[in-house]
Structures are given as C-alpha cells and as structure tokens.
A and B are shown apart, each in its own frame.
Chain A
Amino acid sequence: GAGVSQSPRYKVAKRGQDVALRCDPISGHVSLFWYQQALGQGPEFLTYFQNEAQLDKSGLPSDRFFAERPEGSVSTLKIQRTQQEDSAVYLCASSLAFNYGYTFGSGTRLTVV
C-alpha cells in the first residue's frame, strides 16, 4: 500500500511477556520514527532512524525497549518483560528526508494485563 503499515493493530500481552511491533514505512522513506501515545496524551518521541542507523534513542523509557531497522526499511520495536505502564498506542512515522511531512501509521495498541 501507499501508507505506513503497522502490525499488529492490537496486542494484548501478559505482564512479563516480550512483544515485537512491526512498522513498514513508505517505500523510499529514509527517516523513521517511533512514538508512544498514552491514553489522553499526545504522542511522545521514542527513537529515530535514518536508513539503518539509529541516530537518536533518547526517548526510549528504559533498557527494556529496543528498536532496530537492519536493512533501512522495515523497523521493529521490541519491548521486553512488559509492564502495565507500557500500555499505550505505539505509532510509527516515516518521511522522505529531514522535512517534517511525516506520514504516520495507524499504530499498534498494546495492552499489558
């Protein structure tokens, strides 16, 4: 498709379980961002890739969060030993370059029970 695709759309995880969230950016988009949106809040920056290089991971809340983009296209956000406070919508966005015409995906809603 033409947009940013995220999977799964919904994920329910038991506390302590590891999860992996996938993002397929728009083909050719160099920049890729991950954001976390808690209920009633705006999206909060997690991490940024330029091609395969992770240039900024300052927003990752703990070392349980890990993101990769090994071939500069698809990206995976992994959360280890999930906790209830990890429950949120995880948004992926991509853009062609350093402009800010991001295109966001529809997000993955993670619920940790």
Chain B
Amino acid sequence: DQQVKQNSPSLSVQEGRISILNCDYTNSMFDYFLWYKKYPAEGPTFLISISSIKDKNEDGRFTVFLNKSAKHLSLHIVPSQPGDSAVYFCAASAQGSGGGADGLTFGKGTHLIIQP
C-alpha cells in the first residue's frame, strides 16, 4: 500500500504560469516532507522541505504548502520556467523523537512539462 501518493503522472504548464504539484500521504506518523527534482540520468536533487509544525515554506519561486488534517501537500512553482521541466518526487519521513534516520518514503513522481 502506497503511503505517499502522487496521483498525476504528468502535468503540462505554460511558461510563466503557476505549476501546482500535489501529494497525499496516509501515514499520520510522517512529520517531515520534502520535494525532489530529477532530470533524466541524474539522481534526485533536493528542492524544498517542510516540517509538520509549519503549513508553508517558501524559497524563491518554490513554495510548499502542508495541510495536515487533509494529509496533503503541494508544491507551487511560480513563474514556471523551461528549466523546471523534470520529474518531481514528493517524499516523507517519520523523524519522531527516537532519533536515527529512517529512510524516506517517496511517491511515484509527477513529470512536469513546461510549454514555451
């Protein structure tokens, strides 16, 4: 059973407009969420993260929103640029208070295509 779900395999957005990528999770123990960007033949690159104590985190053109009650997060990219075309993975972890570093649980990814 997938604990992190990205229900849109692909998304096409016009250059300059807003891209919104969505992610849902089922495990209520998750308390830290990340977005990774991946180009073909490269490893994922960290983009932005958010802790469960926040509902928004912004970094330049990228903003992540977290709705804990709905177990939903979204990544907003504005304005979208051609270089943003990539696969975006949502990931989550349950850092908890026990220390240690559990692995991340990833979604299947959304392929974002920015149209000129």
Chain A positions within 8 Å of B, measured between CB atoms, are: 4, 31, 33, 35, 40-46, 48, 50, 55-56, 59, 91, 93, 95, 98, 100-107
Which residues of chain A have C-beta atoms less than 8 A from B103's C-beta? 33, 35, 45-46, 48, 56, 59
Residues of chain A with a CB closer than 8 A to B41's CB: 106
Chain B positions 87-116 with a Cβ under 8 Å from a chain A Cβ: 89, 91, 93, 95, 99-109
List residues 51-99 of chain B with CB under 8 A from any CB of chain A: 89, 91, 93, 95, 99
Chain B interfacial positions (CB closer than 8 Å to A): 4, 6, 32, 34, 36, 41-46, 49, 89, 91, 93, 95, 99-109
Q: Could you list some 11 contacts between A and B, CB below 8 A?
A: A33-B101, A42-B109, A44-B106, A45-B102, A45-B104, A55-B101, A59-B103, A100-B46, A104-B43, A104-B44, A105-B43
- CB < 8 Å neighbour of A106 from B32, B36, B42: B42
**Cα distance, A95 to B100, chains bound together (Å):** 13
Q: In whole Å, how far is B16's beta carbon from the nearest beta carbon of chain A?
A: 29
Q: Are B100 and A43 in contact, CB atoms less than 8 angstroms apart?
A: no
List, in ascending order, chain B residues with CB within 8 A of A50's CB.
Answer: 101
Once the chains bind, are B101 and A31 in contact (CB under 8 Å)?
A: yes
CB–CB B43/A42 < 8 A: no
The residue that B106 contacts in the complex, of A43, A101, A103, A105, with Cβ under 8 A, is A43
Q: Could you say which residues of chain A place their CB within 8 Å of the CB of B99?
A: 98
CA–CA, A95 and B46, complex, Å: 12
